[in-house]
Structure 1
Amino acid sequence: MQYKRLKLDINGFLLIDKSHGVSSNQIVSKIKFLFSPKKVGHTGTLDPMATGLLPICLGEATKFSRFLLNADKTYEALIKLGYKSSTGDSEGKIVKQSIENIPSLTVIKKVLLKFRGQIDQIPPMYSALKHKGKPLYLYARKGVEIKRTKRKVTIYAIEILDFYEDKLKLKIKCSKGTYIRTLAEDIGAQLNIGGYLLDLVRTDIGHLNIKKALKIEEIEKLKNENKKEILMPMEALLSDFKKIKLNIKEENDLKDGKIINKIKKLSGQYRLFGKGNKFIGLGEVDEKENLKVLRLISQMDK
């Protein structure tokens, strides 16, 4: 007889430093096995070839993961110049382009200026973007090209970290939905020599930084009683949002699905704290200073 593992009431999130060659879903599966939470999910996929920061939400924290999906991202990208790739990265078929004509650092700096601010991007065929319910990469593997429309994305900052021989290392802060592989190809095209993404590390998502992240192997070595100690509290996931402290009546009103009137706060989204300064969820204040609930943790749900 097979027994199902007991699902535990574990709430919080982990910062994982994903290794090369491992998919985001494989990390989620390992966390399921190690912690047995009732719910688990990540806050934004990293391709298997990419490494770096992958926040994993457990239990009630999964209710707030979508708010992190919209956060800005920071990457360190290594671009191989003078070559093109069928996939835009090192996993595709590599074709020599113009390695003899690698431009100077001065020329590269001028080209990078064109990529600051809001730019247009065409999503790559080798991506998880859906067409008729199927990810584009499934069509690409069959040699089928799907027409894609341009998208507006924002590059807040692009900085040269290193430049040697035919390799250009960049630090990029960008909006959600930015394809760094496409950016690498577009930079190579602007330089008239081609380029593809050789390596990619995600270092930041919003206020979260890779310095506090753990490798999955480090977590696997922990004893069961020590695993909960590495969980970060749900409210820390949302620390970019300001805080509203509610009195008991206001807390109960939210529990009953009511809107609280005349909250003396600027309009926007806020973390909500109730009795005992306990985090209870996320709310939004409108232009009339009315507070409504966006998400509440289950202890508050009716």
Structure 2
Amino acid sequence: MTTDGFLNLNKPAGMTSHDCVGRVRRLLKLKRVGHGGTLDPAVTGVLPIALGKATRLLQYLQHHKAYRGTIRFGLTTATDDLEGEIIHSRPVPELSLEKVQAALPKFLGKIEQFPPSFSAVQVGGKRLYELARKGETVEVAARNVEVFRLEILDWRSGDFPELDLAIACGAGTYIRAIARDLGAVLNAGGTLACLTRTESSGFSIEESLSFEELEMQLQENKFCPILPSAVLGHLGAIVLSPEYTKRWFQGQRLPIAEIRENRKVEKNTSISSSSPLQVYNEDNQFLGIGQVVTSDTSSILAPQIVF
């Protein structure tokens, strides 16, 4: 069984992403394991895991993510979730769903967002959570992020109302910050009560494996890593003839014009300069990632990763 590929892990609560990588290493008896898109220990859901040579492909996964989360109003904490010290608590029974609905559009599209004080963002070579634990307060610049969808799933009124949301967003978006900032806009205070990542880098929670399911598949010799081709479909692709496949494995830069003359065509989309391309042989085997480099006289397929 090849171990070069991906695992769509359903991360449990209470484990760091690093803990998950370590457990996968032990289960698969594999040294080269990495993950894409860190999840906080309290957060559950999709954690893409790269195995073997596929660890070099993590940078090429798509960046869109989706979550299901619950925001609790009337409460603010040091970490913007229930894991942190309570800073302020005030019942807000007057807060209505209509007021929340009116405020939500402020958080759609391209927005500026300040990362939570307890986060993995680095300032001066130190993680914010390391500085926060020492009681140090640092100024952090706002970051531009993008939120594609905010859908209300449920609303529970009361002294500390709760809102269930489905959120689709780009890389770098903190859902804890949305909870904090929505609470501030409503003059009610808000914190993230729970969060599950439902999609990440082309993986969905419906097709994810828990550790228990992974262990069972391994015991029954049924585990099969997800092939790179299954998660790199957002990239264009090119097919090489046997002659050019051999040259590819030798690390040679290949003239695009010659590849086209030999009737080898792209699998999808068009070839464009600077965009990464999947590279395959005629048997549809994944050979790696290349990039088109264009000059005034020619276009060259330059190997980036030979798989």
TM-score normalised to structure 1 length: 0.89
Do the aligned partners of 1:270 and 1:284 also contact (CA within 8 Å) in 2?
yes
Is 1:230 matched up with 2:240? no
Report the CA distance between 1:223 and its aligned residue. 4.3
Do the aligned partners of 2:253 and 2:301 also contact (CA within 8 Å) in 1?
no
Is 1:11 matched up with 2:4? yes
Tell me the residue number matched to 1:252: 246
Tell me the residue number matched to 1:88: 80
Is 1:77 matched up with 2:69? yes
Tell me the residue number matched to 1:173: 168
Tell me the residue number matched to 1:103: 95
Do the aligned partners of 1:27 and 1:216 also contact (CA within 8 Å) in 2?
no
Alignment of 1:216-227 (within 5 A): 216-224=211-219, 226-227=221-222
Ranges in structure 1 where 5+ consecutive residues have no aligned partner: 1-7, 298-302
Residue aligned with 2:70, SS: strand
- Give, in whole Å, the separation in 2 of the partners of 1:180 and 1:210: 18
Once the two structures are superposed, what CA deviation does each residue of 1:25-75 show, in whole Å capped at 9, x if it has no partner? 11111111111124111111110010000111110111101122x511101
Is 1:22 matched up with 2:15? yes
| Cα root mean square deviation, aligned | 2.0
Report the CA distance between 1:95 and its aligned residue. 4.2
Once the two structures are superposed, what CA deviation does each residue of 1:246-302 show, in whole Å capped at 9, x if it has no partner? 1123223333321322357331332210142211012233566543223221xxxxx
Do the aligned partners of 2:201 and 2:231 also contact (CA within 8 Å) in 1?
no
Tell me the residue number matched to 1:162: 154
TM-score normalised to structure 2 length: 0.87
Tell me: CA distance 1:133–1:96, structure 2 relative to 1, closer, same or farther (3 Å): closer
Ranges in structure 2 where 5+ consecutive residues have no aligned partner: none
Residue aligned with 1:27, SS: helix
Query: Which of 172, 183, 187 is matched with 2:182 structurally?
Result: 187
Residue aligned with 1:217, SS: helix
Report the CA distance between 1:87 and its aligned residue. 0.9
Tell me the residue number matched to 1:5: none
Q: Which amino acid aligns with 1:296?
A: V
- Give, in whole Å, the separation in 2 of the partners of 1:98 and 1:132: 36
Q: Which amino acid aligns with 1:77?
A: G
Do the aligned partners of 1:82 and 1:194 also contact (CA within 8 Å) in 2?
yes
Is 1:200 matched up with 2:195? yes
Tell me the residue number matched to 1:294: 304
